[in-house]
Amino acid sequence: MDKIVVFGHKSPDTDTITSAIVYAYLKNAIGVEAEAVALGEVNNETKFALDKFGFEAPRIIESVANEAKKVILVDHNEKQQSADGIDEVQVMEVIDHHRIANFETADPLYYRAEPVGCTATIINKIFKEKGVEIPSSIAGLMLSAIVSDTLLFKSPTCTEEDVVAARELEKIAGVDVEEYGLAMLKAGADLSDKSLEDLLTLDAKEFGMGDYKVIIAQVNAVDVNDVMDRQAELEELITREIQEKELDLFFFVVTDILNNDSVALALGKLALKAESAFNVKFDNNIALLKGVVSRKKQVVPALTEALTN
């Protein structure tokens, strides 16, 4: 029980999984016993990165209270995105690049958040600050996280610091970031083994916007038509979800990783608000959102503005 467990958010993505592994490695390197765990199955993109650099997916935990007394959070801080039982353990550290909300501690802690595109970019700095050498395989994981979170530097969330970190890590990992990165993104966008239910839940986040309840789900695809060809079935599933969860809006975003655009499907009684949010006409509930790839920086702010004004 003295061991510290390190984990990212629910519905884990590549940054969350690899940052947990990498940060646990760093803690072990400086003499602190730590284990990376996950709050769910890894996705295809993350699996590609783990396989490439020779790592297993972290053990999945259900609730944290039986696992450890002390924990480190990476890539998130909001309670509803974290492990069940989080209130029963002590958060020793947080390494994150999101806003801070629904987070509170009883004691002082190490909290390191920076407004960059990826948690791995921050951890790369901490390696240097602690004087710990980054092995090639660990560099590969961090590079994968940056590629994933910035869509190969194309997302508006990408900062100069992310690019610089990726260039450093590319050398250590001994891969070509453009070539490897595109292969990894394509692996993540391979939806052939996914059910439609999977597509709607794999990376779905719920938001309160004013008094409204909104779910925004996002998937990456090489060909958005692979997904949108099944619109009728998708709408049936989404409509059921809206009823069950009493949602005001379900916004489903399929992001084209080659052209860096997204196609959105909007359902629910506030679906029309999406038109003013993005200044486009939705035809048969669907619209192309030119240049939109980031939920955090583009979709959430635009919908929040439209729904709360």
Which residues are documented as binding site for Mn(2+)? Answer: 9, 13, 15, 75, 97, 149
Listed residue (109, 35, 114) closest to 75, CA to CA: 114
Beta carbon nearer to a second copy, 115 or 174: 115
How near is the Cβ of 98 to a second copy at its closest, in Å?
A: 6
Binding-residue pattern over the window 180 to 219 for a second copy, x denoting contact by CB under 8 A:
----------------------------------------
Quote the radius of gyration of the chain (alpha carbons, Å): 19
Among 32, 57, 65, 113, binds a second copy (CB under 8 A): 113
Specify whether the CB–CB gap between 139 and 53 falls below 8 A. no
- Shortest CA distance to 309 belongs to which of 205, 209, 208? 209
DSSP code, position 69: S
Query: Could you tell me the maximum CA-CA distance found in the chain, to the nearest angstrom?
Result: 58
Count residues contacting a second copy (CB under 8 A)?
20
Among 79, 91, 306, 138, smallest CA distance to 209 is for: 306
* Residue 30 interacts with a second copy (CB under 8 A): yes or no: no
Distance CA 191, CA 186 (A): 10
- For a second copy, the closer CB: 93 or 256: 93
Task: Check binding of 283 to a second copy (CB under 8 A).
Answer: no
Residues between 114 and 173 with contacts to a second copy, criterion CB under 8 A: 114-115, 129
CA torsion sign for 77, 8, 266, 221 is: positive
Comparison of 113 and 228: residue with beta carbon closer to a second copy: 113
308 scored as a contact of a second copy (CB under 8 A): no
List residues binding a second copy (CB under 8 A): 97-115, 129
